[in-house]
Structure 1
Amino acid sequence: MITSRPTEARSGVPLHQAGDPEPAVTTRTATSNYGKVVTQAWDRVHPRLTHRTAWLDHEGELPLIEGTLVRLEVEHLSKGRAAPAVWLWSSKTGATDADVDRAWQAFLRRFDLEHTFRLFKQTLGWRKPRLREPEAADRWTWLIIAAYAQLRLARPLTQDLRHPWEKPATPNRITPPPGSAGPFGTPASTCPAPPERRNPTGPAQGPPGTKDRDRAPRYDVGKTVRREKTLIALQRLKG
């Protein structure tokens, strides 16, 4: 992401000769995982937008969206890995020390969100059904969220769920499910399997001698709309 500084009229040394500006906010935080965390923030810095991705079909001059540019630097990473500085951008202007710390802490918590969606898809079966109505897809998503909320409430019940020969669980950590018992522990292996669906043996519905080639529309749950990446590709698609 390319960013630029404010372009209001000013006197004195030209902007391109003034050097790097002093940060508006500087914070230092001691953490258990990354050591000392130092952040520097510059106010009213806008990204240099281009006619790509989300701004691909925007007509007219692109806007200037000012925000806060944050430089995040940690003392060390896990397993002795290199710790290069990370640049973040927030749409909030006039950020305080608390706003800057909240921004980089939320950035680190993004991994929790990614694992939550992974649980939705792989364990709770969010993407499994092939639904025929968009409204049904929305209802199924809300059911998955409700099921996840119940699992969160029942989390203390599984803190030390283990076999007699397994080591005790670490405090505040959930033991992984046994590999042969399914994703929900031992009860999953004892549930009876549903009977297999029998294939119909009669003739298919419709006029005699014809096949029904038109399949019912299916709506994918959580489908992301894909856009063309360049303006040339969009113009080629429109013809």
Structure 2
Amino acid sequence: MTFSASPTYEHQPSVLSGGKPVAVGQGYSTIAWIPQEQGSWALPLRHERITSFDTPLGKAATQLRQVCAQIPGHVLFLGDGEYGCAPFLKQTADIPCDKLLRLRPNRVLYHAPQPYQGKGRPHRHGPKFSLQAPDTWTVAQEEMTTHDPKLGRVKVRRWEALHLRQAADAPFDLILVQRLDAPDSKPLWLIWMGQQKAVLGQIWQKYLRRFAIEHWYRFVRQRFHWTVPQLSTPKQMETWSDLMPLLTWQLWLAREVVEDSPLPWHKPMTKLTPGRIANSFASLLARIGSPASDPKPRGKSLGWPTGKPRSRRPFCPTVKKRFAKPKETADTAA
């Protein structure tokens, strides 16, 4: 039970009491523009609440369609393992953009089926390709080894024309990234769906820029206190949350007109981060001024009237989203 209307169960990155990474709250979906090749800048383009009637995949597909319709030119969408699934590929198949998505390491893929032999029903799936079973891996169409200044030696491989079981009509290229100098590190599996063939020496480095959105979430929680107010209605939450992208864009636009004001224990920086610009933003406000009048003291508040009854805030039940597993039919089994 909670005081907020229409709450849902949401995953919490930091483990809460009881060791369960699940909290009651409001989920949000954000699509951001990563403007730099390096750094922690992420500028939100769509930042919306996921209602109890929506799903994260459906909301992300809608936002991506809106963004691609308004932005001219080439768009590259980077998504984590939640979006590397058949439902998201189907919902975004008609969106004109390239997609680079992460795959969970327990996925099972399939090659293209063999040519039709003229008897029986045509097969939809070819040989199995299990990410956890190296004996099912075929010879990669392209392979290279490169050296990264931070990660050391990196081996990259690419397989063509693979698909998920429930999205046989959406083939993609599979990319595997392994760190040779750190054999205990987990491999990185990526889906590439684009108009042109992926360049192995560059494509996996582009995916690493996706983590800028994680820095933005941490920044708005800690610096802008996004999750601090205990608001009662979804409308209040949406109004408060709409300020987070606006504040971020203000910091981005002010990066050329503010001077670095480091604290005594900070090192000077040439390329300012969002936090360093926020530290220097007070000097810009002093130069610009404010149209608001100075606050006037009003005296002490009278407080709650004596004898007036108090009413408790209404409790709202938590909405439990249930996902029905699709039944396996003859079409999906083939």
How would you bin the TM-score normalised by the shorter chain?
A: 0.5 to 0.7
Which of these two proteins has the greater Rg computed from alpha carbons? 1
Name the counterpart of 2:185. 84
Equivalent in the alignment of 2:198 = 97
| CA spacing shift, 1:175–1:121, aligned 2, 3 Å | closer
Does residue 1:67 correspond to 2:167, yes or no?
Answer: no
Q: Deviations over 1:61-97 (max 9, x none)?
A: x554543321112455xxxx65636232326278613
Match of 2:161 in 1: 44
Equivalent residue runs for 1:51-200 within 5 Å:
62-64=166-168, 66-74=171-179, 76=181, 84=185, 86-90=187-191, 92=193, 96-98=197-199, 101-102=202-203, 104-155=204-255, 160-162=260-262, 169-172=268-271, 184=279, 199-200=303-304
* Contact 1:5-1:46 within 8 A present in 2 as well: yes
SS at match of 2:305: coil
1:101–1:226 distance in 2 versus 1, CA, 3 Å: farther
Q: CA deviation at 1:146?
A: 0.8
3-state SS of the aligned residue for 1:162? Answer: coil
Distance in 2 between the 1:105 and 1:148 partners? 25
Q: 2:307 aligns with which of 203, 211, 217?
A: 203
AA in 2 matched with 1:97 = A
* 2:251–2:274 Cα contact (<8 Å) kept: no
CA–CA separation in structure 1 for the residues paired with 2:160 and 2:195: 6
Name the CA distance, whole Å, in 1 between partners of 2:156 and 2:147.
12
**1:170 CA drift (Å):** 4.5
**Paired residue secondary structure (2:176):** strand
Distance 1:31 1:196, change over 3 A: farther
Q: State the match for 2:119 in structure 1.
A: none
TM, length-normalised to structure 1: 0.56
Q: Are the equivalent residues in 2 in contact too, given 1:159–1:169 (CA < 8 A)?
A: no
What TM-score, normalized by structure 2, do the two folds share?
Answer: 0.43
Shift in Å at residue 40 of structure 1?
Answer: 1.0
State how far apart, in whole Å, the 2-side matches of 1:175 and 1:120 are: 10
AA aligned opposite 1:9:
Q
SS in 1 for 2:307: coil
Matches within 5 A, 1:217-228: 227=321
Distance, in Å, in 1 between the alignment partners of 2:107 and 2:257 is 49
Tell whether the 8 Å contact from 1:71 to 1:85 is kept in structure 2 after alignment: no
For the structure 1 residues 199 and 145, does the alpha-carbon distance in structure 2 shift closer, same or farther, using more than 3 Å as the test? same
RMSD: 4.6
Aligned-partner Cα distance in 2 for 1:125–1:151: 16
Runs of 5+ in structure 1 lacking a partner? 49-61, 178-182, 206-210, 220-224, 232-239
- Equivalent residue for 1:180? none
SS in 2 for 1:155: coil
The DSSP-based 3-state class of the residue aligned with 1:116 is: helix
Aligned positions of 1:8-23 closer than 5 A = 8-9=113-114, 15=127, 20-23=137-140
Post-superposition CA distance 1:159-186 (Å, at most 9, x none): 64236x6675144365987xxxxx8479
Partners of 1:174 and 1:109 lie apart in 2 by 15
- Cα deviation for residue 214 of structure 1 reads 4.8
User: Comparing both structures, which one devotes a greater share of its residues to helix?
Assistant: 1
Q: 1:38–1:73: 8 Å Cα contact kept in structure 2?
A: yes
| Corresponding residue for residue 122 of structure 2 | none
The residue aligned with 2:109 is 4
Q: Which runs of 5+ in 2 are unaligned?
A: 1-105, 117-125, 129-134, 284-294, 326-334
**Structure 1 position 212, deviation (Å):** 2.7
Higher relative CO (Cα under 8 Å, sequence separation at least 6) belongs to 2
Aligned length: 190
